[in-house]
Chains A and B, each alone.
Chain A
Amino acid sequence: MAPRFLKDIHWPITFLTITLAAVGIFSVYSATFRSMGDYTQKQLIWSFIGIFVFFITIRLGYRFFLNISYTFYVVTILLLLWVLFFTEAKAGATRWIAIGPFALQPSEFSKMATVLMLANFLAGRNPNSKHLQNLILTVFFVGMPAILILKQPDLGSCLVFSPILIAIIFLWGIRIRYLLGFLLAGASSLPFLWHALKPYQQKRLLVFLNPSIDPIGASYTAIQSKIAVGSGGLIGKGWLQGTQTQLDFVPEHHTDFIFTVIAEEFGFIGAFFIIILFALLIAYSFQIMKHTTDNRAKLLAIGIIGFFSFQVVINIAMTIGLAPITGITLPFISYGGSSLLATFFAFGLLASIYRERSIF
């Protein structure tokens, strides 16, 4: 018999996450093998650590993480303050804490901490009493890390907080008129948010609306990315054969634009395959969520599904010009240790919800 530890592991999720991480390693290799730097090796190491985190999370169980979520949240806020005030800027932004040869990005962990914290906080509160007070507190809990991250400046990671907030409060039971008021308030605060953005971020958004504004700067990226994806055609140019990305036409092609590498080298079939993998992962997550009776688990699951779907959809849409370039990474695939760890952790939590579904 299999050891007790392996009992009730959600094998499809395990298989899908590891497959996606493997796709990521191959893509990162293709995106970086011409340049110096041990990106692939690092991504490989992080993937193994991520898989380890995945199983540890299942072993510890999601309840443990929900119970320590307040502490976890406060720690990540402190880390965000730390990067903002005590670290050197790298390429104009302060996002990383260096640990030996690796750089950690607290915003990724802050994202997970916020999901856990919101699930724990709202599940214990009845939407029928003190509705508004709880909502305001929730917005505050999400707003604090989001604003700190925007200050770094990291618009992409900041935006990821919005689907978390909306998905969780929606499922918790926000009254529709509040939700509408909420969205209205969000829309009317856009002009203020606009001024909080750096000029290059503003430029990227403007370029999305009108690509001819800056043909050699910001919209160059958008155009080249679209050419890369489109030129992959139905079956692609073959692994390591993508000229657009290999020849540096698309910048950031190992991080934000990693999908262009896949789409160019493996074509529509490859891209379709990746999207199916992501879709299956999300479908299983919905299923897990449906079958748990624990309200905290439900909210936790929808928070994870929220940011994960958002990142996948917006990142891929960005490469084909359907969304502005905001620096949102593709989970599992984009180069980056913190993102890998956080995502494996998230799916570890989901697998753990599955495993402990029948405790009652």
Chain B
Amino acid sequence: MFSSRPSFRFPLLQVAVVGGFLVLLFGLFQAQVIRGGYYRKASEQNRIRLIRIEAPRGNVYDRNGILLATNRPAYNVYAIPEDFDPKDIPIICRLLKLPENKIRTQLSQTRFASFTPVLLKEDVPKEAAMRIEEFRPELSGIFIQIGCMRYYPQGEAGAHIVGYIGKISREEFAHLDPNVYHFDSWIGRAGIERVFDHDLRGEDGGRQLEVNARGVPIRLLGEKDPIPGKDLHLTIDAKLETAFRPLLPNHRGVILLIDLKTGGILTAVSTPGFDPNIFVSPGRSAERLAIIGSKARPLLDRSFNGLYPPGSIFKLVTAMAALETGVITPHTTFNCPGYFQFNGSSRKFKCWNHDGHGRVDLYTAIERSCNVYFYNVGRLVGEKKLAEYARKLGFGSSTSFELPSAGGLVPNAEWKNLIYHDNWYPGDTITFAIGQSYLLVSPLQILRLVSAVATDGRILEPKLMLDQTKNQEQNHNLSIRPETFKTLRQGMLQVVTSDRGTGQLARLGFAKLAAKSGTAQAPPGDPHAWFGGFFPYEDPKIGFVVFVERGMSGGFTAAQIAKKAANIWNDLYGTPIS
């Protein structure tokens, strides 16, 4: 094989290797013999400590610049095990009020890297920090570093959206980039803190310190400044959040408010709530455990992730499907005797008003929430079209939204067959039409529905991030005719303004409010109360959804809360009617 090639190749490879070794020998001679003295000295003086400086996490602001999440200074006490003298342990114990055993275990944790500072106690009171500083000359290897402690000034208000942070666990750390995360870094655990962790966290810096034989820093050798995390601005209104929370006392519920001009969510109150500060304050673990274990599930954000049957509020979707497919016009009437039968001998599906609504058209049916009307409509539209329109409006799948949100469930025949091994019956279709049967929705999805109705389908994607580029009009083409939306709005107006409407309790003094109530049967237990709508009727500014778990009646419980919420909004931002 090689015969045809010149024979210089083999010697050339040899020369390459010899050359490599000569470079090595030369390099070593240069480093060790010629400059050996210099490096020797450098190594003797080499008492360098690396101190990591955590980058301050970005702030989170509401739409008016009110702080939702920020940092406050905290005094953290560290020890460098190699420099620490165990005879000082009793003094430290007294100063930090820690048991001796705890200090000993903490010090032995990083035995393999004994120059790495160990955190003894986080967030000690200022007085304790002062006293340690006084004792410092006698305590070698102990130092105090002022760190950042996350702080949520609004407490419960906005907590579900902002979320909270927590310490990285050992398992997580093994899977994370060690250049970004340190073994005791904080990481976003929920909400915005979690989803935007990367933006908020910034880049950690560090300090290279030279220390003397007792471990006391004598010179700063190098410093890399931490790069602070980015600040985030949310569409949330902290003032409204705080003012709305008392509207749901002792209830599990939701108040969602959206700015219909921009699609920005103003409030997403979910009760019961929690104070996110308990997740970051080392001394509050008892409260933390109580919240995590609570049966009321305060950590669940009901507005985005709670799933419930929608009840009558879903009739808006049924009406939309029927108008769009042309099976009815707004003036189509059906007679409501108080019940509905497929034929003379079949089961009676009741209307909520057992005396019946008489002959009603679509406007009146929405106004009075007549079940029988929508049973008839549902039968005409069919379950396929109902499901199609429900999906079109965002039901059954999670919203494209900054935070994770639940998808819910839009049933169909295949699904029922798969889960219940049973056929889809006409009875399933008509209960589907009034928002019962298997349907599950989140309050956020209902908010999307009322926003779409209020804005002719323009606002469909609620958002939480305040856009710096203002007035970004959303424009979605739902291919639903404006007349259909207009009809629904008219019906929703009557719900509130008509003396026989189901939402009369939500009449406002300052503007016309249009809405649809829902009272969703969810046995066992009382029905859930829904109330979703918008105001002012003529030029909708605000869309809202009020949901009360086991609230008995949408037109009663939820409508009253909606009215109070609208009035609070008006007091803060409403312009007097001239």
Contacts and interface: CB of A to CB of B under 8 A. Distances in A.
A295 B28 contact: no
Interface stretch (B39-47, B193-201, B337-345, B488-496): B39-47
A322 interface: yes
Contacts of B221: 215
Contact of B28 (A172, A216, A268): A268
B114 interface: yes
Interface in B33-70: 33, 35-40, 42-44, 46, 48, 50
B28 A170 contact: no
Interface string A263-276: 11001100110010
A136 interface: no
A313 B27 CA distance: 11
Interface string A216-253: 11001000101111111110000000011001110000
A203 interface: yes
A291 interface: no
A306 B221 CA distance: 41
Given A170-B9, A243-B46, A272-B25, A229 B31 contact: yes
A6 B178 CA distance: 51
B285 interface: no
A322 B21 CA distance: 12
Contact of A271 (B23, B28, B115): B28
Contacts of A317: 23-24, 27
Interface of B: 1-2, 4-5, 9-10, 12-14, 17, 20-21, 23-25, 27-29, 31-33, 35-40, 42-44, 46, 48, 50, 111-115, 174-179, 206-208, 221-224
Q: Size range of the interface on A?
A: 35 or more
B39 A226 contact: yes
Contacts of A215: 208, 221-222, 224
A241 to B, nearest CB: 11
A320 B27 contact: yes
Most chain A Cβ neighbours within 10 Å, of B5, B23, B35, B111: B5
A271 B9 contact: no
B112 to A, nearest CB: 4
Contacts of B21: 275, 278-279, 313
B36 to A, nearest CB: 4
A71 interface: no
B24 to A, nearest CB: 5
Contacts of B43: 227-228, 230-231, 243-244, 264
A233 B37 contact: yes
Nearest to A270: B32
A173 B1 contact: yes
Interface stretch (A42-50, A88-96, A340-348): A88-96
B36 A200 contact: no
B13 A167 contact: yes
Nearest to B53: A216
17 contacts: A89-B175, A92-B174, A123-B1, A167-B13, A216-B206, A216-B222, A226-B39, A230-B31, A231-B39, A232-B36, A233-B36, A247-B115, A248-B115, A263-B28, A275-B24, A290-B10, A313-B23
Contacts of B178: 91-92, 200
A35 interface: yes
Given A234-B32, A267-B32, A313-B24, A220 B42 contact: no
Interface of B is mostly: helix
Contacts of A232: 32, 36
Nearest to A242: B43
A161 B112 CA distance: 34
Contacts of A127: 1, 4-5
Most chain A Cβ neighbours within 10 Å, of B17, B175, B206: B17
Contacts of A271: 28, 32
A302 B13 CA distance: 9
A345 B437 CA distance: 70
A87 interface: no
A199 to B, nearest CB: 6
A257 B5 CA distance: 40
A116 to B, nearest CB: 17
A291 to B, nearest CB: 12
Interface string A310-349: 0001001100101000000000000000000000000000
Contacts of A272: 25, 28
Contacts of A198: 177
A128 interface: yes
A309 interface: yes
Nearest to A173: B5
A227 B4 contact: no
8 cross-chain pairs, A with B, having the tightest CB-CB distances, nearest first = A230-B39, A231-B43, A233-B36, A215-B222, A313-B20, A268-B32, A231-B39, A216-B206
A226 B206 CA distance: 21
Nearest to B47: A247
Contacts of A35: 111-112
A272 B26 CA distance: 10
Contacts of B36: 230-234, 267-268
B13 A230 contact: no
B412 to A, nearest CB: 36
B29 A268 contact: yes
B50 A216 contact: yes
B174 A91 contact: yes
Contacts of B175: 89, 92
A206 interface: no
A13 interface: no
A41 interface: no
A132 interface: no
Nearest to B178: A92
B112 A36 contact: yes
A41 B14 CA distance: 37
Given A91-B174, A231-B40, A263 B113 contact: no
Contact of B4 (A92, A167, A173, A248): A173
B50 A220 contact: yes
A234 B28 CA distance: 10
Nearest to B16: A309
Contacts of A214: 224
Nearest to A198: B177
Given A230-B32, A248-B115, A200 B177 contact: yes
Nearest to B82: A247
B309 to A, nearest CB: 42
Interface in A108-146: 123, 125-128
B540 to A, nearest CB: 48
Contact of A172 (B1, B12, B23, B33): B1
Contacts of B208: 215-216, 220
Interface in A286-309: 286, 290, 295, 298, 302, 305-306, 309
A233 B32 contact: yes
A215 B4 CA distance: 53
Contacts of B224: 214-217
Given A231-B36, A243-B46, 16 more contacts: A91-B178, A171-B2, A171-B9, A172-B1, A224-B46, A230-B32, A231-B43, A247-B46, A264-B43, A267-B36, A271-B32, A275-B24, A275-B25, A286-B14, A298-B2, A322-B23
A322 B22 CA distance: 13
